[in-house]
Structure 1
Amino acid sequence: MNRTVFGIIGGGWRAEFYMRIARALPGHFAVGAALLREPAKARAFTERWGVPAVSELSAYLERAGAAGCAFSVVCVSRDASGGLLAALAEAGHPALAETPPAPDLAGLLELWSRTGPAARIQVAEQYAYQPMHAARLALAGSGRLGAVTQAQISAAHDYHGVSLIRRLLGIGFEDAEIRAREFAFPLIQGPDRSGPPRSETQVLSKQLLATLDFGDRLGVYDFAKDQYFSWVRGNRMLIRGDRGEITDERAVWLEAFDAPAYAELRRIDAGHGGNLEGFFLQGIVGGSEWLYRNPFGPARLSDDELAVAESLRRMASYTAGGPPFYSLAEGCQDQYLALAMRRAAAEDRAVITARQPWAEPPSR
């Protein structure tokens, strides 16, 4: 197994995912250099993770080159991301961008004008690689459901949710008519990034409902950010084709017009009932078929960490001459559609999207 060395720019909450993954999978990944703008934070990062960290881009690129970094992961705020991605592209250094690549349409357009399709930038849009989503995508793409025409997604916010909708529907850069409304409902506060709640507190949970009408295919977005941590707010998925559908972790399709088939999408873990392989996800099965197999066992990683690790694996392949897996153009389109949803809700009217400079030919 060849180990991939990469660099990381940023040291916040999201950057720690990459550091944990590299630590859990030392045979797959290593971090060779880090860039944090504040010298004190750079020193603290080095002390915590044992990775040389600097606070100037020129010094970082020198260290990354000396360490043999194949690419850099850009894990900074959306306001700072575009400038760093453009600078890396101008230096000829491949980058894996955390989402979104820019905060607004003006930022997306400026970034694209500075980089374009030639820049070696891919986007760490990991949701399609989370095990259960990957299994759903595999089943939806198998043809069993027929032509998939509807995806109702309540599993991720903004551009992440849009990404799942586009992938499930086979949408590339087609225009959409978007309608949306935002609601707020009381909710007892649950955990957050800092841990469990310390007392009972009622908060307002903001929920965005949107329809993305692509003409012959429909996306429905429904999400409240509390779903990421709340104990009492779950996720929901519905994917429909003319021959079947997937509802959360249940699937049904027609083998023939008079012969429906049924399957449960089931997680298979090692380590239960006296099994001594370790405790980790082995994969997802649907009926008797493996729809997803975990390539990173026996490491103990969450579903999102497995998905981020898959993005790293694909980026390593891409920088070695392999195919692109999530282009900057796709990342820009996800954010553009997410911004259009927010605009439709704020202005209480339908928003018709327009073709942007990064758009590639229609997917079909």
Structure 2
Amino acid sequence: MEAIAFGLIGGGWRAEFFLRIAKALPERFAVKAALVRDRGKADKLQEQWGVKTYTSFGEFAAACRNGCSFAVVSVKRLANPEFIERLAEAGIPALVETPPADGVEGLHRLWERVGPAAKVQIAEQYAFQPMHAARIRLARSGRLGEVSQAQVSAAHDYHGISLIRRLLGIGFENAVIRAQTFTSPIVKSPDRSGPPLSEELTESQQIIATLDFGNKLGVLDFTGDQYFSWIRGKRILVRGERGEIVNDEVSWLPSFDRPLYDRLRRIDTGHGGNLEGFHLQGIMGCGEWLYENPHAPARLSDDEIAVAETLARMGDYVRGCPSFYSLAEGCQDHYLALEMQRAAADGVPIVTETQPWAEASPRGNG
């Protein structure tokens, strides 16, 4: 199969994920053009990655129309709407990093201008991370019965809410949101730039929120330190009437009087005498492969595997396959996150309202 060719808007930390993935999987993906407005940064990106770079959107769009299936938008949220709209006007499908716009008014304005007609998908990768994908598949398998609760302490705001919606099978239903914040001391953690250079006591900002969808409950509990910290772990709880998932532990009742227990197990190659290279093969649990890595044998992190999956699915989408993470879903995730932050700031419950993108998306969460 011919490699999926795409253009890339942006040259920052997150944009480099797409460049690394294309380098690791040249038979699957190819970055044919990049748009970086700053000439110095554009030249540096071209030299480092060997990708033709442009500082003019017009030249970039022309290059995309001449050999790219779509363009990835990987810029700051305030700049997202401009590029989404310009790509839509140019007839170029867009895969957009989260969130698609800043603030509820920004989401409304973006939806009004491009709506469901534009070929836009959101690069919300968390549901495609291997362990999360395995949990989602298990939650939807019926083994746990009807799932009624998901507690997520693994990602912030719209990312965490995306996982909650997928684990619960929630689309665009409204919720009553209650939230509070808590500040506590913590020894400074690593960050995007690497490990700390000295000991420093800093503040950890935590938000705890409940999203009551009526017959289903989502709980988000997250501190920003969890992404990189050595001492702040991630936690997932999924509860159904016949069983539950607690991180990688599964318990369920195939019959009322016979409980079964299992574990979600990562299977990697390259251990001991295995000479297949070092990569994730998949996730096993409950007697089956709950997840098989479609991007093996590339040596990628879980997050890179997930981002690669958004690229692969975008390639399918532009060839006529169904939406995998629509602009409407991306707007809904961010809307709920904004209302969660408002509930925490105001100290009162917030009742969400049906938004324009929900009215245009009757099928809800895929």
- Specify the code of the residue in structure 2 equivalent to 1:236: R
> Aligned pair 1:242/2:236, yes or no?
no
The residue aligned with 1:194 is 193
The residue aligned with 1:43 is 43
State how far apart, in whole Å, the 2-side matches of 1:353 and 1:123 are: 22
State how far apart, in whole Å, the 1-side matches of 2:274 and 2:162 are: 37
- Specify the code of the residue in structure 1 equivalent to 2:224: K
Q: Is the 8 A contact 2:33 2:53 kept in 1?
A: yes
| TM superposition shift of 1:362 | 6.3
- Specify the code of the residue in structure 1 equivalent to 2:55: S
What does 1:37-186 correspond to in 2, within 5 Å?
A: 37-66=37-66, 68-186=67-185
Q: Is the 8 A contact 1:174 1:362 kept in 2?
A: no
Long gaps (5+) in structure 2: none
Q: TM-score, length-normalised on structure 1?
A: 0.98
Structural RMSD (CA): 0.9
State how far apart, in whole Å, the 2-side matches of 1:116 and 1:295 are: 31
Q: Quick one: percent identity of the two aligned structures?
A: 61
- Give the SS at the match of 1:339: helix
- Specify the code of the residue in structure 2 equivalent to 1:238: L
Long gaps (5+) in structure 1: none
Q: Is the 8 A contact 2:65 2:92 kept in 1?
A: no
The residue aligned with 1:361 is 362
The residue aligned with 1:2 is 2
- Give the SS at the match of 1:13: coil
The residue aligned with 2:285 is 286
- After superposition, the C-alpha distances for 1:71-121 in whole angstroms (9 at most, x for unaligned) are 000000000001110111111110000000011001100100110101000
Q: Is the 8 A contact 1:207 1:223 kept in 2?
A: yes
- Give the SS at the match of 1:358: helix
| TM superposition shift of 1:298 | 1.1
What is the number of residues matched between the two proteins?
A: 363
Q: Is the 8 A contact 1:270 1:282 kept in 2?
A: yes
> Aligned pair 1:260/2:265, yes or no?
no
- Give the SS at the match of 1:262: strand
- Specify the code of the residue in structure 1 equivalent to 2:83: L
| TM superposition shift of 1:363 | 4.3
State how far apart, in whole Å, the 1-side matches of 2:285 and 2:207 are: 31
State how far apart, in whole Å, the 1-side matches of 2:356 and 2:85 are: 16
- Give the SS at the match of 2:195: coil
| TM superposition shift of 1:57 | 0.9
State how far apart, in whole Å, the 2-side matches of 1:82 and 1:139 are: 35
Q: Is the 8 A contact 2:18 2:307 kept in 1?
A: yes
Q: Which 4+ stretches in 1 moved above 4 angstroms?
A: none
| TM superposition shift of 1:60 | 0.4
- After superposition, the C-alpha distances for 1:308-360 in whole angstroms (9 at most, x for unaligned) are 00000000000011111000000000000000000000000001110110002
